[in-house]
Structure 1
């Protein structure tokens, strides 16, 4: 049995952290779904920036927009470029969502999702994030599309408001147990407000904890005995809080009213240390009732030589002792979590600006190449 199937059978969902048009056109995504137990997919600005720069795969869609009269004028405004990007992204995600829809239906909405992120420029603005999340949700019209909102302090208010509005949310850029619990609280508040307003609480959500960036942040600053152990320890600590929250009276009350559980999701699971095992984080964080999102290379590596050992338990822990060791050598965990969240948001802004610049170049070039353009 492939390790991917064993992980699925153990109760953890595998989602692909990758998208481009070639993945859809050449049948690879269907293969991963059929043969490697992949049951969902996530995207982010960096992935789409890479996709748009990788050859002419999107040129036909841009040209189609030009021929329909959309984008006939060069979209120099940021709003015009963003509109173009979201249209292209939703073309890809609609195709992916169709492949996963049978899983979504079979699992009652607990699996089979794809994700689209709001503009990273809104990471520190609450109401503009809410407005765009609602707009993208309505524009897509897909029952299995999560809108990704970062779990920044302003993002927490947006998560509550978007949940109250009935938008399924993938909370992204979480780095610590405290950040996860704050995001979970925002989601629960949104559900509780829906119940008070006489609305259905059946609004799904996942909370994405980034793992490997912790170890990259302290690389070369800690003893060898602690190398590549920080991200896993933070994740284990967060998993314990997740299990405890699922059993709380607050969550049980919502479940009794028909609300779903917000699922904990491991993000940033590709190994950044070339000396480490390439399946390190996937194997270490195998846990029931969670999701692991993994890059394409990590998926193939795990299918080829992955090993499924003991699953995470909320009863047996080494993470507290390991985290104390990091504190002893000078790692200030709370401050580093805030720093990582800020750097993650900044990184997505950089990718966002890069992909908008790419669209500017492509639309300008394609327009010039149209018959009669000169």
Structure 2
């Protein structure tokens, strides 16, 4: 039976994606169940998710044995395992993809996080992943690092749909949208069908509160402490205002007339990390049409149980959101340093997960020989 709270969220224009994927979720029919009952219309993955999936249970044993039998190396084994999961998930979502004309039914697969600061290798692997998965509803994830920005342009110009990940600041988000628009312009020159290209910009939410809240606690004082829990939502609301600006005006109109799709904002990292905050905070406070919210299962279940949709929470909130950042700077928070720290930490976390993934697969291959 369909969940009413999630139905209301979907009706408000929020595409509900699941921030998780595993072989077990695919083979058990759980993913189909989430589509049918929880309004899930897409999936995001990352190295941390795959590291967890591979270390849990026996769902991958048969494929690992087959890989070990032909003496596959660790990185190629990881590629084959993750591509197989993503292909199957793409097939599960094919009906959603068709029903929404390619807007949803999307499955994201990330380039190797060790390439985050190497434009050329990121582009090469994005092209390889697109060919390997060979599904029109794939999104290739590219990080919004300085090196990632030109990669976004070049990959988009090749007609590939991209999920830009690890966006923390509005300024970097503006650069991401510009990179996408430039990619679309180059795609026109390359003779690509713009209508076939989709993109999302994954703007990270909860990590912003975690970082800024810890700095506010260290600063101390009533004025600073009163600002805890406000930065992440305000940051996201300013990002939405930037999105509205980027996808309006003459430049966008020219691309739209050729069939281009705007790069939708995707709220990522929406699991609440501070137990003092409502566990649906980063869903209910960011309801606005034509956005995506990718949720860990715990957050999805929490919203299904007690989440509230009370209309658009984002449009025309930029003034109040900007005041939050004026106040943060007023108590001494160095926002540029916050965003730099978050980006570095984000890349390092995924690199660490990739190392864990390698170690897990290596030990499984060795055990299967």
TM-score, normalized by length of structure 2? 0.94
CA deviation after TM superposition for structure 1 residue 212, in Å: 0.4
Name the residue aligned to 2:202.
Answer: 208
Name the residue aligned to 2:126.
Answer: 133
Secondary structure in structure 2 of the residue aligned to 1:226: coil
Runs of at least 4 residues off by over 4 Å: none
For structure 1, which runs of at least 5 residues remain unmatched after alignment? 76-80, 368-374
- Superposition pairs for residues 148-187 of structure 1, below 5 Å? 148-187=141-180
For structure 2, which runs of at least 5 residues remain unmatched after alignment? 217-223
Instruction: Indicate whether 1:117 and 2:118 are aligned.
Output: no
Name the residue aligned to 2:340.
Answer: 338
Deviation per residue, 1:36-76 (Å, 9 max, x gap) = 11100000000111111112221111112334x352xxx3x
CA deviation after TM superposition for structure 1 residue 23, in Å: 1.3
CA deviation after TM superposition for structure 1 residue 29, in Å: 1.2
Q: Distance in 2 between matches of 1:164 and 1:320?
A: 34
Contact 2:286–2:314 (Cα < 8 Å) also in 1: no
Equivalent of 1:323, from 306, 318, 325?
Answer: 325
Secondary structure in structure 2 of the residue aligned to 1:315: coil
- Superposition pairs for residues 283-322 of structure 1, below 5 Å? 283-317=284-318, 318-322=320-324
Contact 2:212–2:338 (Cα < 8 Å) also in 1: no
Deviation per residue, 1:321-347 (Å, 9 max, x gap) = 111111111111122112211110011
Instruction: Indicate whether 1:93 and 2:62 are aligned.
Output: no
Contact 2:89–2:107 (Cα < 8 Å) also in 1: yes
Instruction: Indicate whether 1:238 and 2:245 are aligned.
Output: no
Q: Distance in 1 between matches of 2:44 and 2:322?
A: 30
Equivalent of 1:65, from 60, 64, 67?
Answer: 67
Equivalent of 2:140, from 136, 147, 150?
Answer: 147
Q: Distance in 2 between matches of 1:26 and 1:106?
A: 24
Q: Distance in 2 between matches of 1:199 and 1:140?
A: 20
CA deviation after TM superposition for structure 1 residue 310, in Å: 3.1
Instruction: Indicate whether 1:275 and 2:276 are aligned.
Output: yes
Contact 2:157–2:190 (Cα < 8 Å) also in 1: no
CA deviation after TM superposition for structure 1 residue 263, in Å: 0.8
Q: Distance in 1 between matches of 2:150 and 2:214?
A: 37
Count of matched residue pairs: 358
CA deviation after TM superposition for structure 1 residue 247, in Å: 1.8
Contact 1:243–1:314 (Cα < 8 Å) also in 2: no
Q: Distance in 2 between matches of 1:130 and 1:220?
A: 36
CA deviation after TM superposition for structure 1 residue 313, in Å: 3.9
CA deviation after TM superposition for structure 1 residue 253, in Å: 1.1
TM-score, normalized by length of structure 1? 0.93
CA deviation after TM superposition for structure 1 residue 226, in Å: 1.4
Contact 1:2–1:304 (Cα < 8 Å) also in 2: no
Equivalent of 1:33, from 32, 35, 42?
Answer: 35
Q: Distance in 1 between matches of 2:155 and 2:191?
A: 16
CA deviation after TM superposition for structure 1 residue 362, in Å: 0.7
Secondary structure in structure 1 of the residue aligned to 2:287: coil
Q: Distance in 2 between matches of 1:342 and 1:252?
A: 35
Q: Distance in 1 between matches of 2:110 and 2:55?
A: 19
Name the residue aligned to 2:51.
Answer: 49
